Structure formats: C-alpha cells, structure tokens
Amino acid sequence: MLEINNLHVKLEEEDKVILRGVDLKIGAGEVHAIMGPNGSGKSTLSYVLAGREGYEVTEGSARLDGEELLEMEPEARAAAGLFLAFQYPVEIPGVGNMTFLRTALNAQRKSRGEPEISAGDFLKLVREKAKTLKIDAEMLKRPVNVGFSGGEKKRNEILQMAMLEPRMCILDETDSGLDVDAMKLVSEGVNALRSAGRSFLVITHYQRLLDHIKPDVVHIMAAGRIIKTGGPELALEVETNGYADILGEVG
C-alpha cells in the first residue's frame, strides 16, 4: 500500500535536516505504529506525506499503490486515498462543519469522476457516522473545530476519516489531549474502519493508544530514521524501559 524509500527531508527555511533516510513498507490492511522521542521526525513524516508546504524532500520517494505521492498536490493525495488525522486539527471560523464535510467529499468524488452525493444521502451518511462517534447535531452545525474541546476535535478528525473512506490513514498523535473515555471512543472509531483494504500508520508517544488500536508492526524512530522494527511487544518494551535502552542498543 504505502512504500517509503530512503526519504530525506529538510526544512525549507532553515538548513535543518529532519528525516535522514526513512524506509517503511505498509501492506494492505496492516496497522503500523511509529513511536519515538520528541523531535525524532514523526510528525514531519506525516506532514511530508500529506504535502504540507515548508519541507524540502532532498532524496527518496513515497509511493501509494505505486504512485509517487511527493509530486502530487495535497488534494490529489487525498483523492488518491491518503488521509492525515492532524495532531492539532485546524479551526476554520465561518465554515460550517457540514459544509466542510460535504465540500471535501464532493471534491474527492469529482476528482474520481463520480457524481456529487445528493443532499439527502449526505445527511443520512453524516448522521449515521456521527452517531457512533457521539458527535451531536450541534457540533455538526458549528464552524469547523471552533470552540471544540480537544476530544471533540479528535472525534471530528475520525468523523472526516469515516466520511472520506481513505485507504491509507495516518494518525498523528491522535491520543494527545484525550482523556481515557475520549481515547476509547476515538479508538473504537478507528477500529470500526479497519478492513483488509485499508492501512493505518499510527504515530504516538505512548503505548496506551496501542492497547486500543492494536498494531501489527511497531517502529521506533529516532533522529530522522527508523532504528528498530518489531511486533507489538516492542511498544511494551518502550513503555517499561523508555527509549534510552533501544537508542543505546542501536548506538
């Protein structure tokens, strides 16, 4: 599904190298987790994949089903099936959540040559998906993320994911700012979307999210590289011993 080869990235504005040769291969239906200390480049990886400005790819590639992502506009990546759940979802005053969801959904359908969804079908769909995430009508009416609590913002991210049905989902520290109940709700939302044709890359600091969203593969990232890859037990090891041991071991 997603194949990243030798990805090197630096900040455009300053000469600061963030990613120093990331290699990652995620198969269809797999859930991978990336853990790592602050500043290891986890969030940068997610932004670069989604196409945020301000980063310069100096080497390497990232392909989604064989298609080079790095040459596409962000909207084309979304249409190709990539989705990034933001660590800090953006507030957009003046744009209603419903309008936002419908505009996004129709834009993606249009780029795939599909007809726009009817107002009735859209309403039915959004209500059904919102219900399972405990997002009420009031939240759907409000401007995008404006005045939402941390938990509401993250639930809203998952709602977007559920509506847009991407094939490759990246979750950037979706657990940050969530209490136990909210984390459970968000995780259930994610788990409900797991399927043979959909893959996940879960970026997190902590093992606790991985208790809810069980990964197939766990990677440890440090200083812009993936330094160790293993099964779910690797996350537990981090939880018990911290990153120091692994960092020391790899040298």
Q: Under the rule (CB under 8 A), what is the footprint of other proteins?
A: 50-53, 73-75, 77-79, 83-84, 86, 89-95, 99-100, 103-105, 107-108, 111, 143, 160, 164
Q: Which is nearer to other proteins, 50 or 125 (CB)?
A: 50
Q: Which is nearer to other proteins, 33 or 170 (CB)?
A: 170
Contact assessment for residue 201 and residue 34, using Cβ atoms and an 8 Å cutoff: yes
Smallest separation, CB 82 to other proteins (Å):
8
Q: Which is nearer to other proteins, 72 or 236 (CB)?
A: 72
Smallest separation, CB 143 to other proteins (Å):
8
Smallest separation, CB 101 to other proteins (Å):
8
Smallest separation, CB 250 to other proteins (Å):
33
Question: For residues 193, 194, 196 and 199, what is the CA-based torsion angle, rounded to 10 degrees?
Answer: 100
Q: Which is it for the CA torsion 22, 23, 27, 32, positive or negative? A: negative
Q: Which residues contact 167 (CB under 8 A, 6 or more apart)?
A: 1, 64, 65, 81, 82, 197, 198, 199
Q: Which is nearer to other proteins, 107 or 236 (CB)?
A: 107
